[in-house]
């Protein structure tokens, strides 16, 4: 690919040939040639000069020009490529800073070394253009299915020819123990496309939940047309999967449409996924109802939902326990991924035993702290009282509904409960001060003495320490890692503090310390509210 100035048309012929071979724009190749010729000219005339080359797109003639830029007197550094306003007046009548003076210079003959250097520049530019083309082509196809041909296997990873590039199907993205031989055809999901130094990397997957969604979209016309919507997918690749669907047309059964005549549609997906069993479940906005569907084929007796903790308890008949859990916990794990809830499964016998245990613990709490006999304490628990705070600060009318409780008895119960709570508060505050808690935290409104003690035990001893806490550090939360939910314990979670309450307390502390301007906070909230209203409109 050596370039000579003698044969000008050869430049264009070379550019077109390379462009055709690499399937890129010929202009990119010509621009690379212009840059390589300019670099060769600089080595001849001087590296400090600003030499530019223009190749005529029709004739192939290369024009070499020297460009000098007009700069301010104090900015003049490169005398070969810059000149002052006074110096420029001999070349133009009214020069301005930033103006350019262009002079044509004789073309250079490319020697062997210069030609080799020019070739390297052109090849580099062509490679970059080819990589850009591949990246632009595949980045828009991320999230779709592609058919490819296996080229080779490297350390368990499969390299797949996907047309104008290669994709990599990593070992952990293959279903089960799939093995491939060269020239095998394979269908994959384009999980990610990244621009890297060695070129665009296309990462493929056959285990991604989206792969199953796209397969159903191909097999079920109603999903492709938007009549049926896939709301959630959970997979144990190669073994079992659950997919939740809903129909936007009341006359069409979403589950039946996905199953197809005699199971033809779902069977096509199963065959592609190496026999993976698929449960198709009707989606429901009501979380407990959806969970009952998700745990099929197991039957559910009762569901108790805890929205704040994102947790749900499911009670099943004793004989249904193994079916609900599934082999190695597979059924409940997939149901948890599908619903996004942490699921605890109990048998009816276990739930009854737990209720009795909780009843006994609360009864003992009231007996020990309020000096009550067992029968009276059981009456309190039966009416729904769970702790001393509820007894101390509830409306008197709620105590009067208990058999045998008059106003005097109710007043005595509340007085005893308040005395116990005040003593506990004093003890907690003493313990917190012994741990080194400062007055700034003790006097902060919104924290009970027990909360302050719990914070002090975790080395949160001042208002500044408290203001640096995140809301989830206080209230707890859930983190999803590799599709599994993990519990983050909060410092104040045992006091039933919600994320919203924690967020409000932390923000109040920051305002009191002057870290946050309330006016700016109000303005930002108004902006958010305005955007929300616009979106709703």
pLDDT digits (tens, 9 = 90+) for 367-399: 888 888 888 888 888 888 888 888 888 888 888
Q: Which residues pair with 308 in a beta bridge?
A: none
CB 239 within 8 A of CB 276: yes
Torsion of Cα atoms, 442 then 444 then 449 then 453, to 10°: -60
Q: What is the DSSP string of 69-125?
A: EE--GGG---TTTEE-HHHHTTT-SS--TT-EEEEE-------HHHHHHHHHHHHHH
Domains of the chain: 5-132 (3.30.1480.10), 140-207 (2.40.50.140), 436-536 (no CATH)
Q: What share of the chain is helix, strand, coil (3-state, %, to 5)?
A: 50, 20, 30
Tens of pLDDT along 438-479?
A: 999 989 988 999 999 999 999 999 999 999 998 888 888 767
Torsion of Cα atoms, 22 then 24 then 30 then 32, to 10°: -80
pLDDT at 482: 65
Q: What is the DSSP string of 466-483?
A: HHT--HHHHH-EEEEETT
Q: What are phi and psi of 187, to 5 degrees?
A: -110, 130
Token pair belonging to 263:
């199971």
Tens of pLDDT along 292-324?
A: 888 888 888 888 776 655 567 888 888 888 888
* Cα(423)–Cα(370) distance, integer angstroms: 13
How many angstroms from the chain centroid is the CA of residue 362?
42
Tens of pLDDT along 495-511?
A: 888 888 889 999 999 99
Helix, strand or coil, per DSSP, at residue 33: helix
* Cα(433)–Cα(453) distance, integer angstroms: 8
Percent of the chain surpassing pLDDT 90 = 15
More confident residue, 9 or 96: 96
* Cα(494)–Cα(387) distance, integer angstroms: 13
CB 178 within 8 A of CB 206: yes
Token pair belonging to 166:
């290669």
**pLDDT of residue 2 exceeding 50:** no
Helix, strand or coil, per DSSP, at residue 435: coil
* Cα(335)–Cα(485) distance, integer angstroms: 12
User: Which residue do the tokens 């707890």 mark?
Assistant: 476
More confident residue, 216 or 64: 216
Tens of pLDDT along 93-139?
A: 777 787 777 777 777 765 555 556 666 766 777 777 777 777 777 77
Q: What is the DSSP string of 142-206?
A: TTSEEEEEEEEEETTEEEEE-SSSEEEE-GGGS-TT----TT-EEEEEEEEEEEETTEEEEEEES
Tens of pLDDT along 144-159?
A: 888 889 988 888 888 8
CB 290 within 8 A of CB 284: yes
**pLDDT of residue 486 exceeding 60:** yes
pLDDT at 333: 86
**pLDDT of residue 525 exceeding 60:** no
Q: What is the DSSP letter of 333?
A: H
Per-residue 3-state assignment (H helix, E strand, C coil) for 240-269:
EEEEEEEECCCCCCHHHHHHCHHHHHHHHH
pLDDT at 282: 92
Angle between helices 348-370 and 374-382 (to 10 degrees): 120
* Cα(311)–Cα(333) distance, integer angstroms: 13
pLDDT at 464: 92
pLDDT at 468: 92
Q: What's the whole-model pTM score?
A: 0.57
Helix, strand or coil, per DSSP, at residue 134: helix
Angle between helices 112-139 and 9-22 (to 10 degrees): 30
């Amino acid at each position: 690919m050596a370039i000579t100035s003698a044969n000008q048309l050869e430049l264009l012929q070379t550019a077109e040939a390379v462009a055709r071979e690499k399937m890129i724009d010929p202009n990119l190749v010509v621009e690379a040639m212009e840059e390589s010729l300019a670099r060769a000219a600089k080595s001849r005339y001087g590296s400090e000069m600003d030499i530019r080359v223009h190749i005529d797109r029709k004739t192939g003639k290369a024009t070499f020009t020297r460009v000098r830029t007009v700069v301010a007197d104090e900015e003049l550094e490169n005398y070969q490529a810059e000149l002052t306003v006074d110096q420029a007046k001999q070349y133009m009548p009214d020069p301005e800073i930033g103006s350019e003076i262009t002079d044509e210079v004789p073309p250079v003959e490319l020697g062997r070394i210069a030609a080799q250097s020019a070739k390297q520049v052109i090849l580099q530019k062509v490679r970059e253009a080819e990589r850009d083309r591949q990246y632009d082509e595949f980045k828009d196809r991320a999230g779709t299915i592609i058919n490819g041909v296996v080229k080779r296997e490297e350390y368990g990873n499969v390299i797949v020819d996907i047309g104008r590039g290669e994709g990599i199907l990593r070992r952990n993205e293959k279903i089960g123990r799939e093995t491939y031989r060269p020239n095998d055809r394979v269908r994959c999901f384009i999980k990610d496309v990244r621009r890297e130094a060695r070129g665009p990397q296309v990462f493929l997957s056959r285990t991604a939940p989206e792969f199953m969604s796209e397969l159903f979209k191909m097999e079920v016309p109603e999903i492709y047309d938007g009549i049926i919507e896939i709301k959630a997918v959970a997979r144990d690749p190669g073994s079992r999967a659950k997919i939740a669907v809903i129909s936007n047309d009341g006359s069409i059964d979403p589950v039946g449409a996905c199953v197809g005549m005699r199971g033809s549609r779902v069977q096509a997906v199963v065959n592609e996924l190496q026999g993976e069993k698929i449960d198709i479940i009707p989606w429901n906005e009501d979380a407990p109802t959806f969970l009952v569907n998700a745990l099929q084929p197991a039957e559910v007796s009762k569901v108790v939902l805890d929205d704040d903790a994102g947790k749900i308890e499911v009670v099943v008949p004793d004989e249904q326990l193994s079916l609900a859990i599934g082999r190695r916990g597979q059924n409940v794990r997939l149901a948890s991924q599908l619903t996004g809830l942490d699921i605890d499964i109990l048998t009816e016998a276990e739930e009854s035993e737990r209720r009795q245990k909780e009843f006994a613990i609360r009864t003992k709490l009231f007996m020990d702290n309020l000096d009550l006999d067992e029968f009276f304490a059981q009456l309190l628990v039966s009416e729904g009282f769970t702790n001393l705070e509820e007894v101390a600060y509830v409306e008197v009318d709620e105590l009067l509904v208990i058999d045998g409780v008059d106003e005097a008895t109710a007043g005595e119960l509340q007085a005893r409960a308040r005395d116990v709570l005040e003593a506990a508060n004093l003890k907690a505050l003493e313990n917190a001060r012994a741990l080194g808690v400062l007055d700034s935290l003790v006097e902060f409104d919104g924290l009970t003495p027990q909360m302050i003690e719990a914070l002090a035990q975790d080395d949160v001893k001042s208002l500044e320490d408290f203001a640096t806490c995140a809301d989830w550090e206080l209230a707890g939360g859930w983190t999803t890692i590799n599709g599994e939910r993990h519990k983050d314990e909060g410092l104040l979670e045992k006091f039933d503090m919600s994320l919203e309450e924690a967020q409000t307390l932390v923000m109040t502390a920051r305002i009191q310390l002057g870290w946050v301007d309330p006016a700016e906070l109000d303005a930002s909230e108004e902006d958010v509210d305005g955007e929300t209203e616009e979106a709703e409109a």
